[in-house]
A = this chain, B = another copy of it.
């Protein structure tokens, strides 16, 4: 089969490339996707209770990048949405990230902004030299805040105690010395009105884009004659793990249906110190869906098959660089996206990155 562009992966990276390349009607584009659906980790679908869930964990779109916002707005309308997260600490539900509200609720104080600055200063523990993520946190926030909000959460998230984790993982603890309890403060924030999957369908609604599902590209690549490949899968897999496997952290998702309108006070509640899951998401609170039932999702980080989070430590970054050197030398393959660049990108960042690559390489 002859195509101009073979795109591996139907996540937001691959779909953005496909959409941009398809604007030239002469380009024939084939997307190959391993899963049975498009959308990558942003995929959403309805469960048997007719509740829209994000199958790979809660996805909130937020960006300061107007170009990306305008670009995606061609394919979807948005529900205005401001994300808020509570953290279950000392038996209370306390706003995250750490704001004036968090401190005042945690310590039952009534600090002003200025008093909070002083308070945080007084908490900090100087550790030199900084060798681990724990050291970063102690220097930044002191022991109490570190232990209550970060220590156990990070341990669950990465499977390693912060005292043994590279400083890159907790590179700083963000404080907000005001009462803005929103999780993100980006200029644009929202949820696609009919869901991410529908937005993704719109992106490739062109006759010169073909999509092949349930297919690992290695199963078919020899049968396809292409000018250029855009590869958005794991970079180590591309090279048959020849330098060894890169480490990705995975997540096991457990869904629960509940017979009540509302399960918890905010869309996401973190459980740093209790249970084996890191957080619970209640999807109706993200999508604004109404109804008498609700569905929640618990996230259990694990070392599983599905690569979700590239490991942000020096050791793995170095292994990645071995692969990257090979990738940079490829003439007909572009490596892009979260898995191929081994980097934790948000959705807006992968779209931005794909748009830039496209401009650089194809215009």
On A, residues with C-beta under 8 Å from B are: 1-2, 36, 46-48, 50, 52, 77, 193-195, 201, 204-205, 207, 209-215, 219-220, 223-224, 287, 289-292
CA–CA, A211 and B210, complex, Å: 10
Please provide the 8 A-B residue pairs with the shortest distance between their CB atoms, ordered closest to farther: A1-B223, A48-B194, A211-B213, A212-B212, A210-B215, A48-B193, A50-B289, A210-B214
A201, B50: Cα distance in complex, Å:
16
Q: Are A46 and B195 in contact (CB under 8 A)?
A: yes
* Cα distance, A290 to B51, chains bound together (Å): 11
Q: List 6 A-B contacts (CB under 8 A).
A: A46-B52, A50-B52, A210-B220, A211-B213, A223-B223, A291-B291
Known contacts A194-B48, A195-B46, A210 near B207 by CB under 8 Å: no
Chain B nearest Cβ from A2, distance in angstroms: 7
Q: What chain B residues lie within 8 Å of A36 (beta carbons)?
A: 201, 204-205, 211
Question: Which listed residue, B209, B223, B289, B292, touches A214 by the CB 8 Å rule?
Answer: B209
Closest residue on chain B to residue A79 by CB atoms: B48
Across-interface contacts of A223 in B (CB, < 8 A):
1-2, 223
Q: For A220, what are the chain B residues with a Cβ–Cβ distance below 8 Å?
A: 1, 210
Complex contacts, A214 vs chain B, CB 8 Å:
204, 207, 209-211
Closest to A29 in B: B214
Shortest Cβ distance from A79 into chain B, in angstroms?
9
Q: Please tell me if the beta carbons of B287 and A50 are within 8 angstroms of each other in the complex.
A: yes
Instruction: Report the Cα distance A213→B204, complex, angstroms.
Output: 11
State the Cβ distance, A306 to closest chain B Cβ, in Å. Answer: 16
